[in-house]
Amino acid sequence: MGEKILMKGNEVIGEAALRAGCRHYFGYPITPQTEIAHYMAKRMPEEGGTFLQAESEVAAINMVYGAASAGVRVMTSSSSPGISLKQEGISYASCAELPAVVVNIVRTGPGLGGILPAQCDYFQAVKGGGHGDYKMVVLAPCSVQELYELTVEAFNISDKYRILSMIMGDGILGQMMEPVEFKDKEEIIKVDKNWAVTGSKMERQNNVITSIYIDPEKMEDHNLKLQAKYKAIEENEVRVETYNCENADVIVAAFGTVARIIKNVITMAEKEGIKVGLIRPITLWPFPDNEFQKYADVPKAFLTVEMNAGQMVEDVRMAVNGKKPVHFYGRMGGMIPTQQDILNKIKEILKG
Amino acid sequence: MPKVFERPHALKDVSMHYCPGCTHGIVHRLIAEVIDELQIEGKTVGISPVGCTYNNYEYFNCDMVQAAHGRAPAVGTGVKRANPDNVVFTYQGDGDLAAIGTAEIVHAAARGEKITTIFVNNAIYGMTSGQMAPTTLLNQVTMTTPFGRNSESHGFPIKVCEMLSTLEGVVYLERVAVNDIKNIKNAKQAIKKAFQIQLANKGFSLVEILSTCPTNWGLNPIESLKWLQDNMMPHYPLGNFKGKDLEV
């Protein structure tokens, strides 16, 4: 058993990164994730690492690009408008197959939006917010404990596949304090980074990190290689939690903070004789299609609840593939769906 | 017979793609000679830009990272912070460094990032076929200033060395040209000093190199060298702006 301490979500992300062997952090302040930078500014020097406050999000992600090219574990963090600025570097790093962790503690949008929690960056995260055909592994924790565990896991997945991983939380998760149990020692996968630019020492051929292939055949070959990698990740790295789905009248799909609310809705509904199940995608990409197909015959209908205008619902509809109706309930602007509102929506669906 | 002249080891034995009369090839060679002389090939990491020299990783015999437009100083920062023992240089043109990447170069310089920037200024965008650069001279005709650059509509050319010389993090700053033998020799000394500054761990160093673009200037190679001397040099005076007397 490791130590159990009360910690703020954002700070846990920083501590988890350190425990995963990350010694390089490049970022730029933005609410509601700034405590990650505060934490790193103090802890990185203590651990002999680099904390650098970049001049912009664009610079920060490109510093990540450089450090990842040099073979070290590296992280950046931001919130929605800042992540938009990082999209350029995210696309380049994806093409160059650089492993790194990007944290997005989502706030409301579009534009400068507001600073309250939201889930409105789902499309941007899972469908490719930057240009080109690329994917990131997107992990959506729903507790401070999971922020810790999935941050460590994100580094391992990134190194294993040479891919960017995103931790996508929201302002509630980032700002809340919960007890978190740290392991005494993390399992850090060791991979050969013989591709990294570290100086050849005149002992090997030169390494080149690039994202440009002017020759169309080479560019297509590289794209095919990327797609094959994404397929392998889809087959091996899906994470999902299912709860109470076996005899459910309605199965709710929700991720992150909203999934916690659904667990209370399930208890409320039970008292009224309504059986509600939950499928909680933990990896938003790769999406747990199989889990939805597995339970597609069980409920009368599915309901997706999100803090946005309806984004993950599209993936749920594709996964359910017309077998059952898929309804949507969402709030925006930093408004949080209440248990009663969600229960009312479930009753409305069952009434037909 | 002993060899008195040969290709530097840090430069690969391949044909370059540059236009006839373009001076990128000379600048590449000077950097490679310096890498050889300082015996740092095995610890050097170069950062390639966008533009005409996007693929100079095919020419330099050292580890290289190709960066997004303007972001080379940020990428170089990441590489250097990850492995401080590496010698990191960025190779950037005027569009890359003085337009889209202005923030990155200014802040890498202000931080005193221990990297070396080779800044090639030919007063025009080359690869995208001759548009106005931040360094395009007043009255200079380009594809996007067909009646000549005028300050009222297009603003004034940016003097990068003068601008960066105000920053405390900059340790060495020199403007050179590659239009004749004497200046080419001076350019090599400046490049060498800039790398030595980094090896001595002193801070940020940059060498601005006035260069030609015969294709997009619409001049032949000989005329281009003269145009550089007659038009660029008066506006961009050669010389040291910082760190001249620094011992390394």
**B2 or A71, greater pLDDT:** A71
Query: Quick check: B43 and A199 CB within 8 A?
Result: yes
Asked whether residue A352 carries a pLDDT value surpassing 90, the answer given is no
- Give the residue from chain B lying closest to A208, CA to CA: B64
Query: Quick check: A63 and B81 CB within 8 A?
Result: yes
Q: Among A65, A199, A212, select the one facing B75 at the smallest CB separation.
A: A65
Tens digits of residue pLDDT in A29-70: 999 999 999 999 999 999 999 999 999 999 999 999 999 999
Tens digits of residue pLDDT in B43-52: 999 999 999 9
Residues in chain A: 352
CB B72 within 8 A of CB B91: yes
Give the mean model confidence (pLDDT) for residues A111-140.
Answer: 97
Tell me the whole-structure pTM to 2 decimals. Answer: 0.98
Asked whether residue A2 carries a pLDDT value surpassing 90, the answer given is no
Q: Does A240 touch chain B (CB under 8 A)?
A: no
Residue B168: predicted pLDDT? 97
Q: Does B235 touch chain A (CB under 8 A)?
A: no
Query: Quick check: A62 and B45 CB within 8 A?
Result: no
Torsional class of B21: left (φ above 0), alpha (ψ -120 to 50), beta (otherwise) = left
* pLDDT band, very low/low/confident/very high, at B2 (cuts 50, 70, 90): confident
Give the mean model confidence (pLDDT) for residues A320-325.
Answer: 98
Give the mean model confidence (pLDDT) for residues A199-224.
Answer: 97
Q: Report the C-alpha gap between B25 and B16 in whole angstroms.
A: 7
Q: Which of B60, B81, B90, B106 to mutate to test the interface with A (most CBs of A within 10 A)?
A: B81
Q: Report the C-alpha gap between B177 and A33 in whole angstroms.
A: 47
| Beta-bridge partner residues of B47 | B65, B90
Q: Report the C-alpha gap between B127 and B216 in whole angstroms.
A: 9
Residue A145: predicted pLDDT? 98
Q: Which of A209, A93, A74 is nearest to B62 (CA)?
A: A209
Give the ipTM of the model, two decimals please.
0.97
Query: Quick check: B45 and A197 CB within 8 A?
Result: yes
Asked whether residue A27 carries a pLDDT value surpassing 80, the answer given is yes
Tens digits of residue pLDDT in B99-114: 999 999 999 999 999 9
Tens digits of residue pLDDT in B7-25: 999 999 999 999 999 999 9
Q: Does B64 touch chain A (CB under 8 A)?
A: yes
| Beta-bridge partner residues of A327 | A303
CB B101 within 8 A of CB B156: no
CB B96 within 8 A of CB B54: no
* pLDDT band, very low/low/confident/very high, at A185 (cuts 50, 70, 90): very high
Tens digits of residue pLDDT in B61-98: 999 999 999 999 999 999 999 999 999 999 999 999 99
Q: Which of A205, A208, A213, A219 to mutate to test the interface with B (most CBs of B within 10 A)?
A: A208
* pLDDT band, very low/low/confident/very high, at A146 (cuts 50, 70, 90): very high
Running DSSP on this structure, what letter comes out for residue A117?
B
Q: What is the mean pLDDT of chain B?
A: 97
Q: Among B44, B45, B66, select the one facing A211 at the smallest CB separation.
A: B66
Residue A3: predicted pLDDT? 85
A-chain residues near B66 (CB < 8 A): 96, 208-212
Q: Does A88 touch chain B (CB under 8 A)?
A: yes
- Give the residue from chain A lying closest to B48, CA to CA: A210
Q: Among A59, A202, A211, select the one facing B107 at the smallest CB separation.
A: A59
- A242 SS3 class: strand
* Closest-CA distance of chain A to residue B55, Å: 9
Residue A245: predicted pLDDT? 98
Query: Quick check: A24 and B81 CB within 8 A?
Result: yes
Q: Does B42 touch chain A (CB under 8 A)?
A: yes
Residue A69: predicted pLDDT? 98
A-chain residues near B61 (CB < 8 A): 206
Residue A1: predicted pLDDT? 59
- Give the residue from chain A lying closest to B76, CA to CA: A66
Asked whether residue A290 carries a pLDDT value surpassing 90, the answer given is yes
Give the mean model confidence (pLDDT) for residues A287-304.
Answer: 98
